[in-house]
Structure 1
Amino acid sequence: MTFGEKIQKLRKEAGLSQEELAHRLKVSRQAVSKWERDSGYPETEKIIWMSSIFNVSADYLLKDEATDVRNRSGGDQGLFVNMKAAEGFMACQKIRKAKTGAGIGACIGSLAFSFMEPEIGVILTMLFIIGGIVLLFSAKLGDDPYAWLRSEHLILDNDVRKRFMEEYDRNGKHAHRGMLAGIAMIAVGILLVPLMIPAELSVLDDVIMGLGMIIAGAGAFLSLYMWGVIKAYRILLGGTGHRKGGVGK
């Protein structure tokens, strides 16, 4: 059963018209119609909404995006992934890693406020730490509709593999440089900046120390996000097989 057939079946079982489903998802009726005809595909956020509306898992809705070929005789054995699943996986991973990086960056950067007046500094520090923790929990506990791609040997269609190999070749070096730059920013903010502070403390010293914590927090975000992007490409491409011709293209 294709993704569109599943949506149509679940919608009818729920007693919803295309207009009613579109209203709940805040999209047009034409968009729902395209999804059901398999001539269009919703964003990851809409898939998660639909899984909640129909009381099914996002994994169930997306499972047609990959074909299990482990039981086929001959050839590679693993999960055959098409373009839609690969694109959705990469987009989902980037969002999750951005939340993780922002959460840790906010916690580190919050230390900048500890160099302010105690009354306001403590409040701002706690607010940023709470915000960072919320982001971390959101990344960790949020629905991950593509988790199954991380637990299987993946077989990519030739076109899919070529597309993402080219992307990795084009963006991989920038991601590695960004990760190293982030690590350098952490080192500068936490290790180098304090060495620049003279023994006698002053208001300017507090400002410099606060700036160092902000630099370190930004570096944590950059390094973790870039590392996450690199890891996502490696999950998709590393150790995968390839196959000519596509499924669900």
Structure 2
Amino acid sequence: MTFGEKLFKLRKEKGLSQEALAEKLNTSRQAVSKWENNQGFPETEKLLMIGNIFEVSIDYLLKHTTEATYQEEKGYYVSQEMVEGYLAHEHKQAKYISAGIGLLILSTIPYLIFKESPTIYILFTIIIAMLGIGAIVTGGMMEDKKYKVLKNEQLIFDQHYLKGIQEGYNNLRKKYMVLAIVGACSLVAGGLPFLLSKKQLIEATVISNYYPGCVFFIAVGAYILIRIISVQEAYEILIRNEEYTNRLGFKLLRRVRKKVDEL
């Protein structure tokens, strides 16, 4: 079978029209028609997308076979478009969740400033805490089902594009290394006075006026580090996917999902 014959067969089995398939591939109906008639051939990115849509390997699509055997490779083919969308999504989600946690930490400041006026500090604490919870919930609701497969399956990329992802990540790490140092220093600067006071190395009355500023530094440090860690983890899932999928926890979760699907 030629590539065009396989594409036609797969499309019919899936119940898709040429227009519907073209829309999924972000191309024209005429392009799909040409491919099915062996008058042209899609570029690598479109091949990866076709493999994902019909759940077949690139080997199956490219090899000229005499029978329709699905020579599936282990893994999920990831297109450039999907990677870019996933990373943008993770950046945005990390921003909301880290901001929410930072606001929850900041919600303790009104008590430190207005501890003698319960009505005031309770009101401001509730407002700031609700903003923090709202940000966390918003970030959680951003979870996009189409990207879950990237965390649940072994991934296969176009090798040339994978190198581009690695280069982008290496450049990002240099920037994040500086931010991580700033975040860690901020946490230490904010937490140290509380620790010294608890250990009674410094009188609490001496530094109590500085507690609101200390909490602010802790919140800033937490925001920076949580955001950095979340984004780095997203890149790690893509770049070090083999290591990630070989973890015991990943294998156990995959077996559980398989059993649930069978039931």
Q: Give the TM bin, normalised by the shorter chain.
A: 0.5 to 0.7
Residue 105 of structure 2, aligned match among 85, 105, 108:
108
- Find out whether 1:201 has 2:201 as its counterpart: no
> Structure 1: where are the runs of 5+ without partners?
11-34, 39-62, 242-249
Residue 236 of structure 1, aligned match among 229, 235, 238:
238
Tell me, yes or no, if the aligned pair for 2:102 and 2:222 is still in contact at 8 Å: yes
- Measured in 2, the distance between the counterparts of 1:116 and 1:201 equals 14
Count residues with an aligned counterpart.
190
- Find out whether 1:214 has 2:216 as its counterpart: yes
- Measured in 1, the distance between the counterparts of 2:167 and 2:147 equals 22
> Structure 2: where are the runs of 5+ without partners?
1-10, 30-47, 61-69, 244-263
Q: CA RMSD in A?
A: 3.5
Tell me, yes or no, if the aligned pair for 1:90 and 1:233 is still in contact at 8 Å: yes
Tell me, yes or no, if the aligned pair for 1:114 and 1:121 is still in contact at 8 Å: yes
- Measured in 2, the distance between the counterparts of 1:88 and 1:66 equals 18
- Measured in 2, the distance between the counterparts of 1:200 and 1:83 equals 55
Which consecutive segments of 4 or more residues in structure 1 shift more than 4 A?
Answer: 4-10, 35-38, 63-66, 69-76
Give the direction of change, closer, same or farther, for the CA distance of 1:161–1:75 in structure 2 (3 Å limit).
Answer: farther
Tell me, yes or no, if the aligned pair for 1:110 and 1:213 is still in contact at 8 Å: no
**TM-score, normalising length from structure 2?**
0.61
Aligned to 2:179: 178
After TM superposition, list the pairs within 5 Å mapping 1:119-138 onto structure 2: 119-138=119-138
Aligned to 1:82: 79
- Measured in 2, the distance between the counterparts of 1:209 and 1:149 equals 43
- Measured in 1, the distance between the counterparts of 2:73 and 2:213 equals 53
Aligned to 1:18: none
Amino acid at match of 1:122: I
Q: Which has the higher contact order (CA 8 A, sep 6+)?
A: 1
**TM-score, normalising length from structure 1?**
0.64
- Measured in 2, the distance between the counterparts of 1:102 and 1:231 equals 18
Give the direction of change, closer, same or farther, for the CA distance of 1:210–1:164 in structure 2 (3 Å limit).
Answer: same
Residue 99 of structure 1, aligned match among 85, 93, 96:
96
Q: What percent identity do the matched residue pairs reach?
A: 21
